[in-house]
Amino acid sequence: MEAWKTSISTYDRDRIILRGYRVEDLMHRGNFGDVAFLLLRGRMPSPAESRVWNAVLIASSDHGPTPPSTMAARVIASGNRKAAEAAVAGGLLAIGDAHGGAGEEAMRMLQEGMKLISHQGISVGEAGKQIVQRYRIKGRRIPGVGHRVHERDPRTVTLWAMAREEGIAELPITLMQAIADALSVQLGRTLPVNVDGALAAVLLGLEFPPEVGKLAFILGRCAGIAAHLLEELTREAPMRIHVPFTYDGPHPE
Amino acid sequence: MEAWKTSISTYDRDRIILRGYRVEDLMHRGNFGDVAFLLLRGRMPSPAESRVWNAVLIASSDHGPTPPSTMAARVIASGNRKAAEAAVAGGLLAIGDAHGGAGEEAMRMLQEGMKLISHQGISVGEAGKQIVQRYRIKGRRIPGVGHRVHERDPRTVTLWAMAREEGIAELPITLMQAIADALSVQLGRTLPVNVDGALAAVLLGLEFPPEVGKLAFILGRCAGIAAHLLEELTREAPMRIHVPFTYDGPHPE
Amino acid sequence: MEAWKTSISTYDRDRIILRGYRVEDLMHRGNFGDVAFLLLRGRMPSPAESRVWNAVLIASSDHGPTPPSTMAARVIASGNRKAAEAAVAGGLLAIGDAHGGAGEEAMRMLQEGMKLISHQGISVGEAGKQIVQRYRIKGRRIPGVGHRVHERDPRTVTLWAMAREEGIAELPITLMQAIADALSVQLGRTLPVNVDGALAAVLLGLEFPPEVGKLAFILGRCAGIAAHLLEELTREAPMRIHVPFTYDGPHPE
Amino acid sequence: MEAWKTSISTYDRDRIILRGYRVEDLMHRGNFGDVAFLLLRGRMPSPAESRVWNAVLIASSDHGPTPPSTMAARVIASGNRKAAEAAVAGGLLAIGDAHGGAGEEAMRMLQEGMKLISHQGISVGEAGKQIVQRYRIKGRRIPGVGHRVHERDPRTVTLWAMAREEGIAELPITLMQAIADALSVQLGRTLPVNVDGALAAVLLGLEFPPEVGKLAFILGRCAGIAAHLLEELTREAPMRIHVPFTYDGPHPE
């Protein structure tokens, strides 16, 4: 078998090296979020980057027991109480196109919009309008806009204020807002940028590839899922979840 | 369906509350590890606790591409390149009795030893010997001791030095070391406490239940798996992994 | 890397060999259950074995939308609609100690009972009593007995009638029933052998190791999960599942 | 919580009903593959359909230890030996765009081609050429064609011969072959229809929706994965898999 190649980490009898740092030195850093940045990005974050990146993970960390990821983890734990890895993994598997996956899609959309701006020399507002038009022609949903609960997502407001303060992601944030505005005009009602859209803009400003739009959400939500799983195991009985259902299929003769 | 109960988090139109904090306020804290502590433990860590807990997560975060969890994630990504959640989840599923699961088992063992100490009034060294004897009589492997690569695990040394400095987990650390010593005497060769044993002692000192022995490892390793997955997707071709094998079953006539 | 060894399957440019058969020849057999038997057991089933083994898989295949495995798959699909593998896998992850895992445990229990019979020369009824006593002394739940819905599990009745007709698993079936009877006497109410206990006896009669107690249930239920997932994707909207919950944690000041 | 709706299955104290059949009656059918058809399709297969559908599942069931799904399951089992559900689920998670997912994509492609034929009145050969052209203009890979090992896939030959004998899927088979021929002409080398393309044509002939292209492969491969997992657990030591790797990242100063 051909040797695998990695630039992330290695070890020998005495040492574990992550991205050029000894793990002991990283342990003294005191901030797990920073080490996740290092592992994904290949270098340590600046203090400004650390602040914003940790805020992305924290914003993603939990949202009650009702999102499909958290609900799935609790349902799995109600049947399988000895294998915590199964419930956490099963929870993460619910993160996809309809839940938590819009960050990655929004990063690709923002990349497309930023190309329009730099190649065609158009304004950010104009780019927002063109993106909305392009998506609607193809019948594609605009990712990162709208929320079934929040009219104004507190995570977006805070994350973007923080990023602006630190001078991070100014263009992608403005573009993401322009897209939401253009869509709101088209639909005739004000749609907020949701947490997926908010972190998409910020992660692009931190020069992450689009895949990190989903991976950051996964890592953040892993903490919340773990907490709900622990609560399920310590506070609830096995097989406690009963969902009401009606059967509308055929009956035996 | 009966309403679920949770003391972890809730939301309404304008707010998301995690363990009594607004998510915006947590985002300003700048330390994702601390919020994971809050979610799992129900309260914020002290500065000393934050330092040690973040070190636990960082110590767990990565160890090259060869552990089963990381290897599985890369293998999965080589067949399934569009669903990052599948590769991360699949990686976490390799965390079990033989890899990353010993932390939880070691916490249960340490709880048993600490009961011996408080109920029988024996010394820590004596408790270590009794635990080793009990496990060996039942034919059970002592968790948290020995490593296939490291003779002296740098993560253990650093984590325990840090915990001792902060006055955290003194008794469980001494007990874990006593167990390793008693086992080394029995086997006639020096066995190090590995990272699972090291974090087990520390997490017990932080008053976490044994389940967190595995969950902390899962959360930490989630960061490393995400990084290896990203490297696989951006640097390697699909279906690139070929394992040599021999077939020793029957052949058609 | 050392070559892996397998006696299950191999291939070259022109052929795929499974357990000594060309895959083309197996495709003509017309019974997927039989090929699963071949793969797991290393030889083709006799007609009697085929009948009973297929009945095991069919008995395990589905039980409405409410078991944790099926429910989890539908919850996952409500968030992640493009990755069917995620929802099927997530569903299977709910198969554990409290749901679908009792077959494996019951096989181990029956092995213990059969050793008592052959080593101590006691009767099956006596072995049943001793097993119940041993489990109760250790505070362990007797696997394979009782059901939250069925007072008399139709799958058990049918599977055991079929096995008896074919002369398969007579001793393990009698022993499993003796255990249920002894437990019923102890508890003062009649407890049925459930599907896990029923298939445990039959699989032992087919000379499978205990691991197949869980694997057969997993393979059977995979069909039902796939069907529910397909129904979820084609008949329901994304994010349609809302679970009511109450929050009993702290609030911000 | 609103009641869920299902037309697949229901139960009461005495009965379990799957698609209008009592589970006991299905258990007597003796063919698990047929019950999987019933669950997915809503009605029992005819004898001809049963033959072809079972052949699809058998063709998908195993292909040695090297596909990412099987390899991942074995890697996971080497770290996690007590939770068979984790290894099976993790194996299935490798079924995606580059491995086992092409069946679903090929079904969508064939649907597009069949629309061309019926709406534009063109020949099957012409439709094959147009499909290849459409895909190449968009830079999309043609699914279901080519194999890294087999120049002529024995599963395709057998499956299609069987389907033709039974009068099933004639048009989709001819179209799938026409697409492979058109692509071979374009690329100047003969490419075989692989098992994904073969089952795509057949499943369309059986009137399944495209999602079943992946689900049938998942169900079939579940049997092979279970067998490899069992072999790993019974024949190999924990943590036995060592992959060689080189580190090309930075080193500490």
| Per-residue model confidence (pLDDT) at position D151 | 78
- For D112, the enclosing helix (H) or strand (E) is helix D102-120
Give A253's pLDDT tier (boundaries 50, 70, 90). confident
Under-70 pLDDT residues of chain B: none
pLDDT 10s digits, D1-46: 789 999 999 999 889 999 999 999 999 999 999 999 999 999 999 9
**Which of C11, C18, C32 to substitute to test the interface with D, most D CBs within 10 Å?**
C32
Q: Give one DSSP letter per residue of B207-238, joined into a string.
A: T--THHHHHHHHHHHHHHHHHHHHHHHHHS-T
Residue D215 parent element (H or E): helix D211-235
* Amino acid B1: pLDDT: 76
Q: Is residue A153 pLDDT above 90, yes or no?
A: no
Give me the residue from C2, C62, C90 closest to D9, CB to CB: C62
Encoded amino acid at C142, one letter: I
Q: Could you tell me which of B190, B211, B185 has the C-alpha nearest to residue B200?
A: B211
CA C224 remoteness from chain centre: 13
Q: What is the mean pLDDT of residues C174-198?
A: 96
Is pLDDT at A148 greater than 90 in this prediction? Answer: no
Instruction: Answer whether D68 sits within 8 Å of B76, measured CB to CB.
Output: yes
Annotate B222-232 with b (16+ C-beta within 10 A) or e (fewer).
bbbbbbbbbbb
Spatial contact of A241 and D11, defined as CB atoms under 8 Å apart: no
In single-letter form, the type of residue at position B159 comes to: L
Which residue of C75, C98, C100 is in closest CB contact with A68?
Answer: C75
Q: Is residue A58's pLDDT more than 90?
A: yes
Q: Would the CA dihedral through A114, A116, A120, A124 be positive or negative?
A: negative
> Taking all residues of chain A, what is their mean pLDDT, rounded to a whole number?
96
Please give, rounded to a whole number of angstroms, the shortest distance from the CA of D215 to a CA of chain C: 6
Using DSSP, state whether D148 is helix, strand or coil.
Answer: coil
- Is the pLDDT confidence value at C148 over 80? no
Please state the rounded mean pLDDT for residues A10-19.
Answer: 94
CB–CB contacts below 8 A, A to B: 287
DSSP 8-state symbol, A65: S
Give the number of other CB atoms < 10 A from CB of residue B244.
10
To the nearest whole Å, the CA of B11 is away from the closest chain C CA by 9
Cβ partners under 8 Å of residue C35, min gap 6: C18, C26, C29, D57, D58, D61, D223
Per-residue pLDDT reduced to its tens digit, B35-65:
999 999 999 999 999 999 999 999 999 999 9
Contact criterion met (CB < 8 Å) for A79 and C64: no
Average pLDDT value over all residues in chain C: 96
- Contact residues for B46 (Cβ-Cβ < 8 A; gap 6+): none
Task: Find how far residue B83's CA is from the centre of its chain.
Answer: 25
Chain C partners within 8 Å of B2 (Cβ) = 244
* DSSP per position, A128-186: HHHHHHHHHHTTPPPTTB--SS-SS-HHHHHHHHHHHHTT-SHHHHHHHHHHHHHHHHH
Which parts of chain A fold into alpha helices (H)? Answer: 23-27, 32-41, 47-60, 68-79, 84-92, 102-120, 124-137, 154-165, 170-187, 195-205, 211-235
Q: d(Cα A181, Cα A174) in Å, to the nearest integer?
A: 10
Q: Is C171 helix (H, G, I), strand (E, B) or coil?
A: helix
pLDDT-derived band at D84 (thresholds 50, 70, 90) equals very high
Between chain A and chain D, the number of residue pairs with CB atoms below 8 A apart is 105
Task: Assess: ipTM above 0.95.
Answer: yes
pLDDT at C150 over 80: no
Please report which confidence band the pLDDT of residue D163 belongs to, taking 50, 70 and 90 as the band edges: very high
Residues of C in contact with D32 (CB under 8 A): 31-33, 36, 54, 57-58, 61, 220, 223
Q: How close A150 comes to chain B (CA, Å)?
A: 5
The pLDDT of D146-161, averaged and rounded, is 88
A72/C64 CB distance under 8 A: no
Predicted confidence at residue C221, as pLDDT, reads: 98
Q: pLDDT tens-digit profile of C69-115?
A: 999 999 999 999 999 999 999 999 999 999 999 999 999 999 999 99
Size of interface C-D (CB pairs under 8 A): 287
Chain C: residue nearest B241 by CA? C1
Measured between beta carbons, which residues in chain D are less than 8 angstroms from residue C68? Answer: none
CB atoms A99 and C82 under 8 Å: no
Q: Inspect the interface and report whether the beta carbons of C219 and D227 lie closer than 8 Å.
A: no
> Residue C1: pLDDT band by 50, 70, 90 thresholds?
confident
Q: Can you tell me the mean pLDDT for A169-197?
A: 96
pLDDT given for residue D31 in this prediction: 98
- D100, with CB counted inside 10 A (0-12, 13-18, 19+), is buried
- Considering only CA atoms, which of A228, A50, A150 is closest in space to residue B18? A228
One CATH from 1.10.10.10, 1.10.230.10, 1.20.1250.20, 3.40.190.150 for C102-205: 1.10.230.10
Question: How many angstroms separate the CA of residue B246 from the nearest CA in chain A?
Answer: 13
Confidence grade of residue A152 (pLDDT, cut at 50, 70, 90)? confident
State pTM to two decimals.
Answer: 0.97
**The pLDDT value given to residue B115:** 97
Average pLDDT for C184-210: 96
Domain ranges of chain D: 10-44, 102-205
The single-letter DSSP state of residue C152 is S
Residues of D in Cβ contact (< 8 Å) with B90: 72, 76, 89-90, 93-94
Q: Tell me what pLDDT residue B151 has.
A: 78
Q: How far is B194 from chain D (nearest CA, A)?
A: 16
Calpha distance B104→B203 (Å, rounded):
10
